[in-house]
Amino acid sequence: MRKIIIFLLPILFFLYTSCTAAQEILRLSTSAQIADGFGMDVIKEFEAKHNIKVQVFICCSNTALQRLINGFSDLACVAFKLPVKYIEQGYVEIPFAKDPLAIIVNKNNKIENITTYQIRQIFSGQISNWNDIGGIDQEIYTIIPNTRTALYKNFQVLVLQQLPISWDFQSYLSINVIKLVANLKNGIGFISNGALKNKVGVKILKVNSKSITDKDYPYFQTFSFVTKGRPNRNAKEFINAALSKRGREIIISKGMYPIF
């Protein structure tokens, strides 16, 4: 099986609004799929209403947590459950959204529905041609995010039930899976549903005949804020903004479900 790692360089910092001497700063480290699916919209509105500039570092969830632990961030956004050892050390986890984990293919792919069994067979390397599941006679290209991302680990647990994942292409950031699937007509990948809003070139498959909008869709990730003890004032203001009525509206508009 070919293994080609594609490093699409991330834009590490997004700085909005001009900085004044009196302007305060919130250092936020966030999973790429959370940033793309939810965070950037909240940040824009937050900065427009507060005299606080948000410095955003986009990375994988594990790196976001490590940056918080090592004092490089005031707030982390992660897509995994906080390990107990960190809770025992005083870190605080605030879940705010459930997001469907979408199975995506190129927009021209004729397949509309896929079963859990077929997904496992494809991503474990046991099915390698689309005609094995009712498609055209073409080789399947499996596309995954970096193996250190929460998205990869969530997929392995939720979908493959810890089976090893066989892959053809790997992207540095989770959201770049979308671009790769859009550019490979026989590609298949997985991504946060929230990150797919307004993206072109791909389509979402039904899973076991369940649409991504169905409440009983089988795969969901949980997104959470993490703070080192009690959040500082700027982090608290941001969390409150995200948990507000407007924050709920943004979550729902992106195809996610508010937890609060």
Band of residue 37 on the pLDDT scale cut at 50, 70, 90: confident
pLDDT in tens, 157-194: 999 998 899 999 999 888 899 999 999 999 999 999 98
* pLDDT surpasses 60 at 13: no
Across the chain, the runs of DSSP E, i.e. the strands, are 4-6, 13-14, 24-31, 52-59, 75-78, 91-106, 113-114, 141-145, 169-171, 187-192, 202-204, 206-207, 220-228, 257-258
> Which CATH architecture describes the domain 100-207?
3-Layer(aba) Sandwich (3.40)
Closest CA to 29 of 251, 225, 241, 237: 225
* pLDDT surpasses 90 at 19: no
Superfamily the domain 10-98+222-258 falls into: Periplasmic binding protein-like II (3.40.190.10)
* pLDDT surpasses 80 at 79: yes
Q: How far apart are CA 132 and CA 34, in angstroms?
A: 34
Quick check: 207 and 103 in contact, CB under 8 A?
yes
Mean pLDDT score, 102-113:
97
Q: pLDDT at position 60, please? A: 92
Mean pLDDT score, 213-231:
95
Q: pLDDT at position 16, please? A: 39
Cα atoms in the 13 Å half-sphere on the side-chain side of 147: 8
pTM metric for this prediction: 0.84
Band of residue 3 on the pLDDT scale cut at 50, 70, 90: low
Q: pLDDT averaged over the chain?
A: 90
The residues spanned by each domain of the chain are: 10-98+222-258, 100-207
Q: pLDDT at position 179, please? A: 94
- Backbone dihedral angles phi then psi of residue 210, each to the nearest 5 degrees: -100, 130
* pLDDT surpasses 70 at 20: no
- Backbone dihedral angles phi then psi of residue 54, each to the nearest 5 degrees: -95, 120
Six-digit token string for 187: 């590609």
Q: pLDDT at position 2, please? A: 55
Q: Give me the percent of the chain exceeding a pLDDT of 70.
A: 91
